Copies of this chain bind each other. A is one copy, B any other.
Amino acid sequence: MEYYLPKGFRFAGVAAGIKSRPGVKDVTLIVSDVPASAAGVYTQNQVVAAPVLLDRKRTPTSAARVVVVNSGNANACTGTRGDADAVRMCQIAAAAASSPVDSIAAERALVMSTGVIGRFLPMDKIDSGIHSAAQQLGYGQAAFLDAADGIMTTDAARKVTTRRYEHSGRTINIAGMAKGAGMIGPNMSTMLCCVLTDAPLTADQAQKLLHAAANKSFNNISVEGHTSTNDTMLLLANGQAGGSPLDAQAEAIFASHLEQMCIELAKQIPADGEGATHLIEIDVRGARTDADARQIAHTVAGSNLVKSAVFGCDPNWGRIVSAAGYAGVPIDAAKLALKLNSIELFRNGEPVAFDAKLASQAIRDNHLTHVLLTVGDGPGECRHWTSDLTLDYVRFNSEYTT
């Protein structure tokens, strides 16, 4: 598989001993050779991890140089000491990535952490891990994949995607990495995503585009709906593809690629939800607004009854329809309709006779379960992805030994 890496970014991922299993990568370093526009989208949780507080202040910016990430410890709920540790991580990373001819200020670093909540960072391990990563920085595919591995926690699979396209005589590369299997491992948490491009974007452009992409992707996924303290998406654009900042037409093309890549990465999270046997794709249509549709989709996705029915391959449409009813936004019960894997189960507020055995088999035969829920005839719509609720999910999340 060929990866299309943006010019002017170096990567590294190393094992620093933060995670208990030896040899597992847990520190990632990404360095842009030149100042990059950087944008961030963060958790909406009011209980916010130290690195999120720090990055929020620093983005958007037109002068980011470094992203440093650790996994195995979220640096969340760690008070003032945690805040100081996040600042210190940036200082260490900026210094380690500097050279005699290129001194990087600490303020040009961004930081992400993911893992256990409520424990202080082991700063000695962080320090030596960052220095070791700085030694190994590289432009190539192996370095990129090491970096992607260094941000993983309970993920079963590495989550990366890259894209190359030509526009107006310019070649633009975009590379994205993400982690997250929901906030689901023993004490583990958080979605992280970092997208890097050599496209020339202003900081404001980057911020606007990242927000738009988040609303179509990472804001529409859930495993169990527990909003993490650490969720962070970063976009760094260093302009090394050359030329002046993207004009409206070029921006639209970039936006489309970015959105598709974010969706691709985001869907991998519930698909990889610990214990998950199905990815559930929920399309809500006919709501008054997109926001209403999102609220309904999130509510259906948050129902344990819906999620455990899919696990059991049970076309239990009453659970889906009733979840739509308590989403807290107006729906037209007389226009409610439901299709499950294209099989019509409910129409205009009345049940439709269907072959339950066939409907069950359709769930069993596919990793993807598709829910199409119509709630009226408004223009609002949303597509949301979640995972099913399985015995293994409960096993993983209860078998933490104190």
* Interface: A78 (CB within 8 A): yes
Copies of this protein, total:
2
Partner of A349, one of B74, B77, B117, B119: B77
The reply to whether A351 and B47 form a contact with Cβ atoms under 8 Å apart is no
Docked pose: A166 CA to B308 CA in angstroms: 49
A377 part of interface (Cβ distance < 8 Å): no
Which of these binds chain B: A90-98, A171-179, A322-330? A322-330
Residues of B within 8 A of A47 (CB): 321-322, 324-326, 331, 333, 336
Q: How far is it, in angstroms, between the C-alpha of A391 and the C-alpha of B396 when the chains are bound?
A: 11
The reply to whether B312 and A398 contact each other, CB–CB distance below 8 Å, is yes
Contacts of A215 in B (CB 8 A): none
Q: Which of A59-67, A181-189, A245-253 contacts B (4 or more CB under 8 A)?
A: A181-189
A48 within 8 A of B: yes
A326, B394: Cβ atoms under 8 Å? Answer: no
Give every chain B residue within 8 A of A227 (Cβ-Cβ). 322, 325-326
Most buried by B among A48, A316, A323, A331: A316
Interface segment, one of A12-20, A26-34, A124-132, A354-362: A354-362
- With A47-B321, A303-B226 known as contacts, the answer to whether A309 contacts B400 (CB < 8 A) is yes
Instruction: Give A299-347 interface residues, CB cut-off 8 Å to B.
Output: 302-305, 308-309, 311-319, 321-326, 330-331, 333, 336, 346
Interfacial chain B residues near A315, Cβ < 8 Å:
402
Q: Which of A189, A312, A317, A330 has most B Cβ within 10 Å?
A: A312
- The answer to the question of A85 belonging to the interface, with a C-beta cut-off of 8 Å to chain B, is no
Q: Does A203 have its Cβ within 8 Å of any Cβ on chain B?
A: no
A74 to B321, CA, bound (A): 14
Contact size range, A: 35 or more
Does A322 contact B45, Cβ atoms closer than 8 Å? yes
With A78-B351, A330-B46, A333-B46 as contacts: A397 and B322 at CB distance below 8 Å: no
| A318-B76, A351-B79 given; A325·B397 CB < 8 A | no
Are A325 and B46 within 8 A (Cβ)?
A: yes
Residues of B close to A397: CB separation below 8 A: 304-305, 308-309, 312, 389
**A398 and B314 form a contact (CB under 8 A):** yes
Specify which chain B residues have a CB less than 8 angstroms from the CB of A398 in the assembled complex. 308-309, 311-312, 314, 389-391
> Complex: how many Å from CA A43 to CA B323?
12
Which residues of the partner chain B approach A164 to less than 8 Å between Cβ atoms?
none
Complex Cα distance A388/B78, Å? 27
* Distance between A31 CB and nearest chain B CB, rounded to angstroms: 31
Whether A229 sits at the interface, judged by CB under 8 Å, is: yes
Q: Does A116 contact B (CB under 8 A)?
A: yes
- Could you list which residues of chain A lie within 8 angstroms of chain B, going by C-beta atoms? 43-48, 74, 76-80, 116-119, 183-184, 186-187, 189, 224-229, 302-305, 308-309, 311-319, 321-326, 330-331, 333, 336, 346, 349-351, 356-357, 359-360, 389-391, 393-395, 397-400, 402
Q: In the complex, given contacts A47-B321, A47-B331, A312-B400, what are 16 additional A-B residue pairs having Cβ atoms less than 8 angstroms apart?
A: A46-B331, A47-B325, A48-B333, A74-B318, A77-B318, A78-B351, A79-B350, A80-B350, A117-B319, A117-B321, A183-B305, A184-B305, A229-B325, A309-B400, A357-B402, A389-B394
